[in-house]
Every structure is written in C-alpha cells, then in structure tokens.
Chains A and B, each alone.
Chain A
Amino acid sequence: MNEKHDGDHHHDGGHSHHPEPPSDVEARTLALESLLIEKGLLTSDEVDRIIDAYEHDIGPLIGAHVVARAWVDDAYRQRLLEDGPSAVKELGYDHPAGTHLVVLENVPGRHNMIVCTLCSCYPWPVLGLPPTWYKSAAYRSRAVSEPRSVLAEFGLELPEEVAVNVWDSSSDLRYMVLPERPSGTEGWSEEDLVQLVTRDCMIGVARPQVPAGAVSG
C-alpha cells in the first residue's frame, strides 16, 4: 500500500480558504486547545485522559482478547455475534454507549474484510487508533473494487473458492472481523491464542499465523 505519513505535508499559503493563515498543525492544535480551555469547553484533564486512554488502554489487544475468548468459548462466540458491545463489556472493557459494533465471522469459504470508503470509520473501542494505510485513498478505493489484489499485497492470497465479503462502514455501525482459529492450536490457552490475533487479522487483511515451532499437539 501507498503509505501516507501524517507528518510529511505542508500548507503553503495564498489559495487556502482556511480561516487561519497557513501555520504548523501542531501550533494550530495547541492554540485551539488553549482557547477551548479558556472558554470552559474543555479541561486539560480531559485532554490528558483521552490521550492516556489511547496510548495505554485502548488498542488491538482488546479485540484480540475478544477473539481468543470466542475461539475457546462457543457460547461466548454466539453472544459476540449477536451483540458485540455487550460481549466486549462482558470481558471488563468499556464500550461507549450508543456505539454499535457488529462482529463478522470468517468461515471456511468466506473471508470478511472492512473498509470505510467515504471517510475512515473504524472500530476504535476494540482496535484503538486506525493504521495510516487504512485511512489512505488507495485502501479506501481499492478495498471495494479489487479486494483480492489488496489482500495479495498484504501477503494473503485467497483461492477462488473462498468468497471475499467487503463491508463498507458507511453508517453508525462499526465492523470487526472474527478470524478463523488457525489449525494446530488445539488445546492452546486463551492467553497464548491472544498473541496470534493481530490488528490486521481483525480488519480482515491478514490471517492469524502460528509461529513455526509453536505448534503443539
């Protein structure tokens, strides 16, 4: 994928309809933050709390835990597919009220993959911050029109008999993929299984890989 990094852009001025003369994004952000704090619309504690939550607490480990539990507990898997937010909360995680989560199960013969073509909707409460490529114009357009080529670029070549289902998150629903449990992991503990579940598996651009030598009988 064509990675587009958040830092490497410049705002040269003159033509912009922007309310501010072109300036450094960070400086603009800090000015807005201090202004909103002075207006009483924001507190620095709130800002710190949100940054801290996304730096430390909210990330793909939540989704990985959910997936691993679904692999070892079939009743939990059913509840997860029926009501995503409740199943996430059942494991002790916060899931914001009014945020919808639909979990898509990969099965033999059907592979699910998520995208948001219109902006970059992403299941933040379970996967944390979206990767840069997920927000790129290339992924957003190609994931729907040529998903198999995109998957191949991620190293996932799917045979023709496996149907690809792409889910375009255009509404208030957020999607997460429940990958198939890899063979060779029978008898593994939930803790060990969590290690196999990457963010990309839950976006649907990868499959869980068992490290060579880790297969137990």
Chain B
Amino acid sequence: MGRTRGAGYYNLDEFRHAIERMPAEDYLRASYYERWLHSVETLLLEKGVITAGELRSGHASEPASAPRPRPGPPPAVVARFKPGDRVVTRNVNPIGHTRLPRYARGKSGVIRTVNGPFLLPDSNAHGRGPDWQPCYAVEFSARELWGDGAPAGDRVCVDLWESYLVAERKK
C-alpha cells in the first residue's frame, strides 16, 4: 500500500487527509487497514493512476500516469523559537488537513526541542507546494489542557509546526 506513495503519486499528508475525508459513518465502521485501502483507492483514482473500471475488474486497461516530481531537499530554515521559549498555539479551525490537534489550540506551552524542518502538512495535503518549517516539541501542563482537576506535574508534549505557534506576550 505504501508502495504507490513511494512511487510519488501522493504524499503521506494526502493519504491521511483522504482518510479524514471519509464520511464519518464509514470511518467509524471501517477497520484501520480498511481506511488505508480506502485512501489508496481514492487517491489513485483522483490522480488518474487507475480508473474506476480497472478497480472493479482488477485488471489494467491503460498505462498509469506519470508520478509527480518529488519535493527537493529542505532549504536551510531559521527557527524562530528556542528551547524554553513560551508560546501560544493558534486557535484556528481549518477546513482541510492540519496536525494541530483540537485539544491543543489556543493553549500556552513551552518549547522543549527544535526539530525538522518538516513539510507543513496543511499545505502538503492540498498540493499547495512545499512549505518547510521548523517543528517543535511543545510541552503543555495537563492543567493548561484539561483544567485544575488534572495532576499538577503531568505534561503532554505535542510536535507542532512553527506557523501553529505565536510567541507568548510577556506578562
């Protein structure tokens, strides 16, 4: 299943987004790997690699289209934040794909490590071109996320792309 992604017909973010686009009822009913199958079928059809008739018959009637060129190597990017910096996540509700989990939107956290650059999924899932960004492990206290009932010392760490974050204003 991963082989057609390896061939360059679609990327991992498109693969995930095709699962997210499943009707909720189908998504909830399907097994994990059935979702993968749905995503591969959907993307190969949308990209013109296969046709609906071929998928029904299981036999090829025409050659596959050419894969897209792969993104080049990442450029050098300068990270805006460093470990220890306080940041706030944006409170946004995009219609398409994102890797900013809903529970971590509009929350205050601390940069733990600086990683990447990685391709911004929000752009990569929608064919909007490569957007390489630093990605940070951002630590949130459980209380910031879940309220004062959460244990004081517990933490949740989430990997977040730079454009999901703004610097926290000094108090």
Contact = CB atoms under 8 A, between A and B. Distances in A.
Nearest to A22: B26
Q: How big is the A interface, by class? A: 35 or more
Given A11-B29, A31-B55, A34-B58, A166 B157 contact: yes
Contacts of B153: 160-161, 163-164
A119 B4 CA distance: 20
Interface string A161-202: 101111111111100000000000000000000000000000
A38 interface: yes
Contacts of B103: 117, 144-145
A166 B155 contact: yes
Nearest to A47: B3
A9 B19 contact: no
Interface string A27-49: 01111101110111110001000
Contacts of A167: 137, 156-157
Interface of B: 3-4, 7, 16, 19, 22-23, 25-26, 29-34, 37-38, 40-42, 44-45, 49-50, 52, 54-60, 63-64, 99-101, 103-104, 115-116, 118, 135, 137, 142, 145-146, 151, 153-161
Interface of A: 4-7, 9-11, 15-20, 25, 28-32, 34-36, 38-42, 46, 100, 117-120, 132, 135, 144-145, 147-148, 160-161, 163-173
Question: 4 closest A-B pairs (Cβ-Cβ)?
Answer: A171-B159, A31-B58, A163-B153, A38-B60
